[in-house]
Structure 1
Amino acid sequence: FDLDDDDTCRAAVRMFLQCNLVQQFHIPYDVLCRWILSVRKNYRPVKYHNWRHALNVAQTMFAMMKTGKMERFMTDLEILGLLVACLCHDLDHRGTNNAFQSKTDSPLAILYTTSTMEHHHFDQCVMILNSEGNNIFQALSPDDFRKVMKVVESAILSTDLAMYFKKRNQFLELVEGGEFDWQSEEKKEVLCGMMMTACDVSAIAKPWEVQHRVAKLVADEFFDQGDLEKLQLNQQPVAMMDRERKDELPKMQVGFIDVICLPLYKVLSDAFPWIRPLYEGTMDNRQHWQDLAEKVEMGLTWIDHDTIDKPVEEFACEIEALADIEFTVTTLNCAHPEDKTDTTPVHERKPRFSSLRKTGALGKAVRNKLSKSVYSSQTAIGSTTAGAPSSG
């Protein structure tokens, strides 16, 4: 909360430097800085799923690698891919979840029928890398490039909690079976997926002062979606997105911790003891939330409702714009659409990029085209940099 925007970018650069990734993979310093700034600029100013959330997720991954000693199980190339995935895992998030995309038949839901937003986040990541001056993988061999992109894609898609539930039992079986060899491709992918989820929800393990503030931001964003569902779909939102049930947030936080966070952190800390602070921090915060939940049951108010009571005013007049796809990528050489001052009343603005609407084949076609484009540039580079170091 105390870092300004420039400081957050410096922190991101520092993580790459301290992991020795800049030196190991010959990433030009100006390209790394430009890429980080471009990634930051392609996060929307939503309340929670924004650039600062991405940075916090990356910082937790960095801490897991260093303090948690997980780097001993990873190649340098995998560490590079995981840090990139963390910073990019919510690119262009609109403040609404996959269920909302499906309910509204949004163009993104038509493009990607499963893990809708996660596929979009990955595609945005690819397009930034494919932008001029932003390819931090430019010195990789073609083989290393394929490997790191596979890590990035798998890691970003694993942040869909639906994917987490599918793979959690598999991970539990490996740990309970005494698995200590994580080098096979299949096991490594499962481990990386669990680590991504652990980082994605890691605000739950932060000191209480931080966790309390983050929880209000998450609730604000969820309640905004609930307001949209009432306005646009005439539906009653689920409890965690219903502003009228805001006093139940402590109880819902306890449920979230018990169902998702504690089981994950417990099995991770059992297998990798250096990660135990995540489990202990979550246990501490669970007690805080439980105490607040008990206050609510006694009829006491637990939270300052000044911000959480107020729906987002522009929702009523931006419903049409929600259906638009923005497959544009903002780099340092162009302005972000939301940075431009538009004096036209919001309700009179025309949808952008309407030519990209509702074409079921577009998602796969776009991804294939972009991947081939980036890969072709890597092949050309590889032919002249055969001696480029490989992480193995």
Structure 2
Amino acid sequence: MCTAFLRIAWLLQTSSKAQPFREAIDLQKKQLFNHNQRVGCIDYNDVEDYVIDVVFSKAFDLYPRDGGNFHVPSAALLKTSRNAEIARHVVVAAVPLNIADITQENDYCKGSFDEDQNFKTKSVLCMPIYNSDKKIIGVTQLINKINGNPFNESDANTIEAFSIFTGLGIHNCQMYENACKLMAKQSVALEVLSYHATAQNDETEKLMTCDIPAAENLGLYTYEFNDLPMSEDETLKSTIAMFRDSNIIKKFRIPYDVICRWTCSVKKNYRPVTYHNWRHAFNVAQTMFTILYTGGLIPLFDDLEVFALLAGCLCHDLDHRGTNNAFQVKVESPLAMLYSTSVMEHHHFDHCIMILNSEGNNIFQSLSSEEYRKVIKMLEHAILSTDLALYFKKRGDFKKIVDEGEKEFQEPIKKDLLKAMMMTVCDVAAITKPWEVQYEVAHLVANEFFEQGDIEKTQLGEKPIAMMDRDKQDELPKMQVGFIDAICIPVYKMFAELNPGLEPMFVGVSNNRNNWQALAEDNERKIMGNGQAKTTEKDKENEKEKDEIKEENDSPQTIKPPRTSKVKPDQPLTARKSSIKSKQITPQKKVAIKEPKGKTKICTLM
């Protein structure tokens, strides 16, 4: 049936250029009905790649003289009809079948699709119907030419062309049915996921009954804020404090149980990965709270924008898997197939919407339809802006605006650009924290990167980039300096120029850069020192050997035993293998860093 598929391409091309697709099908139907008493189409679902017992799922019988109406034979009739038996033969043999006089054929049982005994089948032309995978999905039958003659080659060509269009129709119907089933499955899956993703009532009630301190008492207005000593419950209470002290809860009439349930649900939907977890999201939101109120940016935004920014910060990494966008694309994950750009960021936003649509979690329920549309759009913009690839694209435009002295940001385009840069400022704000906090957080980030690098090594068989290669963890200080110079210094410098109230962040990142640079230089000195010490020892040994050879040449020529390395009597024989001393390892500097809950850990600087 290769010609059939060549004809498919030709027919599709012809129908698209010469006449509408529907007209082409109508022309085929008209030609068939004018020359045949009955046209039948039998749908066949082949479950296996090979045929054992052909079972037809449905048949359509067309009577040209009855206005072209469909007649659907019963399932019982399909099992015993003569026409179905012929169709089975065509499916199994995968070839057309032309019977001039069926009364002369003893291979088929009696009966027909129609229970009307007045209709007598004489001649049959049966053609297989193929889908795009060249699998048979049904058969088309022509029964009894009106002129009483047997079917000829011209009739075979006609029904073959008609079968092509029929195949397209059946294939589209099957695709639609499959899509409906998949949508139903998705609906069930989302319902189950929504139930398990939503915070339980006891969690919500516990938070509702807690006394929420003032944001100022919790230190939420300070750039030096440190969440490490805080418990999980304290982070939840601090989140409620930010919404309350921003007047968002009162302004937008959010039921207290809804804001508490939503906060607990958001926390629950962060995976326990090393860095991109609930703690990171909470810190990003706290930084946004600080730059708005302490940094002096709050006059630039209305209440709805503040609401969207804080909610966006809390949701910006929902369901993060501990791997980046490049990894998702590399492994061809379902997320990468679903989103073409900003893979994880789109997933974070969709997950945010799923929580909002869960019962009792819609913190925007009191908004008007227009306000709701605006806040969802702002929420999406905020979350997608955390993709650093977009930051690099927008940074130049933002710098130009800052250099021009813009202070008001009333134009929508400029304000969107400002909000996008603010999301980046908050997302990487750990780089501006006091050194003890920055040092520990940097190692959390590095460990998450190393975990991805380990997967790339073991499962993908690839060598990861340096920042994700555990074998290069000693280069962390150097990599931190590179990260600060490429991403952090430029954006914090621009914001310091934009508003003096934001200068502490620029000072913080500059101080941390100096600390990382000092560690990087210290590492370089250690490497150079070890290499120089090794070279010096080798030079001494070479000079010693030269002196011994010179003494031998100056002494009388006598036969001497081969020289051996000088080894002390109590030295093991293995020491004879090398006369070069082993490399001396310089003790590494240690710094005391506080962990949560007042504990102290000694970390070795690399």
| 2:377 alignment partner in structure 1 | 150
Q: 1:307/1:113 Cα in 2 relative to 1: closer, same or farther (>3 Å)?
A: farther
For 2:504 and 2:367, the matched residues in 1 are separated by: 35
TM-score normalised according to structure 1 size: 0.77
Aligned counterpart for 1:124 among listed residues 351, 355, 373: 351
For 2:452 and 2:602, the matched residues in 1 are separated by: 15
For 1:13 and 1:175, the matched residues in 2 are separated by: 33
Correspondence 1:114 to 2:361: no
For 2:351 and 2:297, the matched residues in 1 are separated by: 28
In structure 1, give the amino acid aligned to 2:237: R
Correspondence 1:207 to 2:413: no
> Partner of 2:249: helix, strand, or coil?
helix
Confirm or deny: 8 A CA contact 2:590 2:602 kept in the other structure: no
In structure 2, give the amino acid aligned to 1:116: V
Residues 289-300 of structure 1 aligned to structure 2 (within 5 Å):
289-299=516-526
1:181 Cα deviation from its structure 2 partner:
2.7
| 2:387 alignment partner in structure 1 | 160
Confirm or deny: 8 A CA contact 1:295 1:302 kept in the other structure: no
> Partner of 2:459: helix, strand, or coil?
helix
In structure 2, give the amino acid aligned to 1:200: D
1:307 Cα deviation from its structure 2 partner:
12
| 2:239 alignment partner in structure 1 | 12
| 1:138 alignment partner in structure 2 | 365
| 1:38 alignment partner in structure 2 | 265
Aligned counterpart for 2:297 among listed residues 70, 73, 76: 70
For 2:589 and 2:416, the matched residues in 1 are separated by: 41
For 2:479 and 2:590, the matched residues in 1 are separated by: 14
Correspondence 1:181 to 2:374: no
1:308 Cα deviation from its structure 2 partner:
11
Q: Which digits, 9 at most, give the CA deviation of each residue in 1:9-44, with x for residues without a partner?
A: 000000001100001000111100000000000000
What stretches of structure 1 of length at least 5 have no aligned partner? 310-392
For 1:303 and 1:170, the matched residues in 2 are separated by: 43
Correspondence 1:24 to 2:251: yes
Confirm or deny: 8 A CA contact 1:204 1:285 kept in the other structure: yes
Q: Which structure's CA Rg is the greater one?
A: 2
| 2:307 alignment partner in structure 1 | 80
User: What is the identity percentage for the equivalent residue pairs of Structure 1 and Structure 2?
Assistant: 58
> Partner of 1:228: helix, strand, or coil?
helix
Q: 1:307/1:161 Cα in 2 relative to 1: closer, same or farther (>3 Å)?
A: farther
| 1:386 alignment partner in structure 2 | none
Q: 1:45/1:308 Cα in 2 relative to 1: closer, same or farther (>3 Å)?
A: farther
Aligned counterpart for 2:511 among listed residues 257, 270, 284: 284
Confirm or deny: 8 A CA contact 1:90 1:118 kept in the other structure: yes
For 1:308 and 1:32, the matched residues in 2 are separated by: 39
1:153 Cα deviation from its structure 2 partner:
0.3
CA RMSD of aligned residues (A): 1.6
1:130 Cα deviation from its structure 2 partner:
0.4
> Partner of 1:285: helix, strand, or coil?
helix
1:184 Cα deviation from its structure 2 partner:
1.5
1:198 Cα deviation from its structure 2 partner:
0.2
Q: 1:302/1:183 Cα in 2 relative to 1: closer, same or farther (>3 Å)?
A: farther
For 1:163 and 1:232, the matched residues in 2 are separated by: 29
For 1:95 and 1:260, the matched residues in 2 are separated by: 21
For 2:589 and 2:521, the matched residues in 1 are separated by: 10
Q: Which digits, 9 at most, give the CA deviation of each residue in 1:297-350, with x for residues without a partner?
A: 12265679x9999xxxxxxxxxxxxxxxxxxxxxxxxxxxxxxxxxxxxxxxxx
Confirm or deny: 8 A CA contact 1:216 1:308 kept in the other structure: no
1:180 Cα deviation from its structure 2 partner:
2.2
| 1:105 alignment partner in structure 2 | 332
Correspondence 1:242 to 2:472: no
Correspondence 1:60 to 2:287: yes
In structure 2, give the amino acid aligned to 1:207: P
In structure 2, give the amino acid aligned to 1:194: M
For 1:308 and 1:186, the matched residues in 2 are separated by: 46
| 2:455 alignment partner in structure 1 | 228
For 1:49 and 1:307, the matched residues in 2 are separated by: 24
| 1:255 alignment partner in structure 2 | 482
| 2:275 alignment partner in structure 1 | 48
In structure 2, give the amino acid aligned to 1:185: P
In structure 2, give the amino acid aligned to 1:4: S
> Partner of 1:233: helix, strand, or coil?
coil
Q: Which digits, 9 at most, give the CA deviation of each residue in 1:211-236, with x for residues without a partner?
A: 00000100100000000000121111
For 1:162 and 1:13, the matched residues in 2 are separated by: 32
For 1:167 and 1:119, the matched residues in 2 are separated by: 18
In structure 1, give the amino acid aligned to 2:290: A
For 2:508 and 2:373, the matched residues in 1 are separated by: 37
For 2:503 and 2:405, the matched residues in 1 are separated by: 18
Confirm or deny: 8 A CA contact 2:431 2:512 kept in the other structure: yes
In structure 2, give the amino acid aligned to 1:105: E
1:187 Cα deviation from its structure 2 partner:
0.8
For 2:248 and 2:329, the matched residues in 1 are separated by: 39
For 2:495 and 2:407, the matched residues in 1 are separated by: 12
> Partner of 1:298: helix, strand, or coil?
helix
In structure 1, give the amino acid aligned to 2:284: V
| 2:121 alignment partner in structure 1 | none
| 2:397 alignment partner in structure 1 | 170
Residues 268-347 of structure 1 aligned to structure 2 (within 5 Å):
268-299=495-526, 301=588
| 2:193 alignment partner in structure 1 | none
For 1:308 and 1:241, the matched residues in 2 are separated by: 20
In structure 1, give the amino acid aligned to 2:270: Y
1:272 Cα deviation from its structure 2 partner:
1.3
TM-score normalised according to structure 2 size: 0.50
1:81 Cα deviation from its structure 2 partner:
0.1
Structure (1/2) with the larger helix percentage = 1
Q: 1:195/1:302 Cα in 2 relative to 1: closer, same or farther (>3 Å)?
A: farther
Confirm or deny: 8 A CA contact 1:247 1:302 kept in the other structure: no
Confirm or deny: 8 A CA contact 1:31 1:133 kept in the other structure: yes
Q: Which digits, 9 at most, give the CA deviation of each residue in 1:38-97, with x for residues without a partner?
A: 000000000000000000000000001110011110111000000000000000000000
Confirm or deny: 8 A CA contact 2:399 2:494 kept in the other structure: yes
Structure (1/2) with the larger strand percentage = 2
For 2:452 and 2:260, the matched residues in 1 are separated by: 34
In structure 1, give the amino acid aligned to 2:388: L
Question: Which fold has the larger relative contact order, with Cα–Cα distance below 8 Å and residues 6 or more apart in sequence?
Answer: 1
Q: 1:303/1:116 Cα in 2 relative to 1: closer, same or farther (>3 Å)?
A: farther
For 1:62 and 1:292, the matched residues in 2 are separated by: 32
For 1:150 and 1:62, the matched residues in 2 are separated by: 20
For 2:250 and 2:357, the matched residues in 1 are separated by: 22
